[in-house]
Amino acid sequence: MPFGLTNAPASFQNIVNDIFSDFLDIFVVVYLDDIMVFSSSEEEHVKHVASVLQRLRDNNLFAKASKCVFHASSVDYLGYVVSSDCLKMDSSKEACSQFQILKEAFITAPILSHFNPSLPTIVESDASDYALGAVLSQVNDSGKNPIAFYSRKLLPAELNYEIHDKELLGIVWALKHWRAFLLSCSNSFEVLTDHSSLQYSMSSKALTRCQALWAEFLSEFHFTINYNPGRLAALPDALSRWDKV
């Protein structure tokens, strides 16, 4: 079978599954061209290996000797070390160290900074179908640092809002939540949203009653709304989609 064909792996897997159909999960596990033979005793293992090799020969398939390991008590298989005692990740793989880094990232909470009214301030907001999420950050010499996080579920009536109003509601509630901080800012702060039309919503002459009330509240603050693509808004997006907010 030539390399590069889209369906080649699936077709080959189907072939080997058919060839070893009466051996599978009894003493054989097959993933594409990786065949593992397992047995409860050495005598049984000799018979099992012979059966597998004979089945390959009967179907004009061949195993390369340099890639085979026979009569081993422990084998490397698909990134794992398989033995009679345990199944564990192969510690020699690069993915193992990366997995450890990922685990540490999950259990390490970000360090929150104290709010400083003189620093550039950013509010990132997002809304999902069922919740709101926001991040308050400030920029100093070390970069952008989180000050606080906020999220809440949408109320039953709010669940019926159009996506534009949900996104605007997210901004309103973020500014309500951090009102004391934001009103003390020395300069205009920035609101980032992944809903580009919000940049112009407050200048519209056609506002609903609800939007007009929000516009009146937002007029207290000195800020600009800028578009932030969703791929760059991971934090507020995650907060608005966590099902336990």
How confident is the model at residue 232, as a pLDDT? 81
Both 43 and 149 in a single domain?
no
Query: Quick check: 119 and 159 in contact, CB under 8 A?
Result: no
How confident is the model at residue 244, as a pLDDT? 56
* 101 domain-assigned: yes
What is the CB-side half-sphere exposure of residue 29 using CA atoms within 13 A? 7
Which DSSP symbol is given to 128? -
Both 145 and 101 in a single domain?
no
**Residuewise pLDDT in 10s, the chain (245 residues):** 566 677 888 888 888 899 999 999 899 998 888 888 888 888 999 999 999 999 999 999 888 888 888 888 888 877 778 887 778 777 666 667 777 888 887 777 678 899 999 999 999 999 999 999 999 999 998 889 999 999 999 999 999 999 999 999 999 999 999 999 999 999 999 999 988 888 777 667 778 898 899 999 999 999 999 998 878 878 888 888 876 55
Quick check: helix, strand or coil at residue 129?
A: coil
How far apart CA 175 and CA 150 sit, in angstroms, is 11
Query: Quick check: 172 and 190 in contact, CB under 8 A?
Result: no
Query: Quick check: 101 and 93 in contact, CB under 8 A?
Result: no
- Domain of 37, CATH number, reads 3.30.70.270
Tens of pLDDT, residues 165-224: 999 999 999 999 999 999 999 999 999 998 888 877 766 777 889 889 999 999 999 999
- Domain of 234, CATH number, reads 3.30.420.10
Query: Quick check: 45 and 37 in contact, CB under 8 A?
Result: yes
How far apart CA 229 and CA 110 sit, in angstroms, is 23
How confident is the model at residue 74, as a pLDDT? 84
Domain count, the chain: 2
Both 97 and 127 in a single domain?
no
Q: How many residues does the chain have?
A: 245
* 72 domain-assigned: yes
Angle at 219 between CA 130 and CA 198, to 5 degrees: 45
Which residue range forms the structural domain that includes residue 226? 121-241
How confident is the model at residue 116, as a pLDDT? 96
